[in-house]
Amino acid sequence: MTGGSRGIGRSIAEVLAAEGAAVAVNYRSGEAQAQEVVQTITQSGGRAAAVGGDVSEYAQAEAVVAETVAQLGGIHILVNNAGISKDALIYNMDPGEWLDVMRVNFGGTFNCTKASLGPFMSQREGAVVNISSVMGERGWTGESNYAASKGAINAFTRCCAVEFARFGIRVNAVLPGFAPTDMVAGLMDKDGGKGISKQIPMKRFATVEEVARTAVFLAGPDSSHMTGALLTVDGGVSAQVGIGKPL
Catalytic residue numbers, as ranges: 146
Write the burial class of residue 47 (CB in 10 Å: 0-12 exposed, 13-18 middle, 19+ buried).
middle
Tell me if residue 152 falls in helix, strand or coil: helix
Q: Which of 68, 86, 72, 88 is nearest to 27 (CA)?
A: 68
- Calculate the CA 240 to chain-centre distance: 24
Tell me if residue 146 falls in helix, strand or coil: helix
Look at strands 169-176 and 126-131 and give their pairing.
Answer: parallel
Which CA distances in Å does 241 have to 28, 80, 185? 38, 29, 24
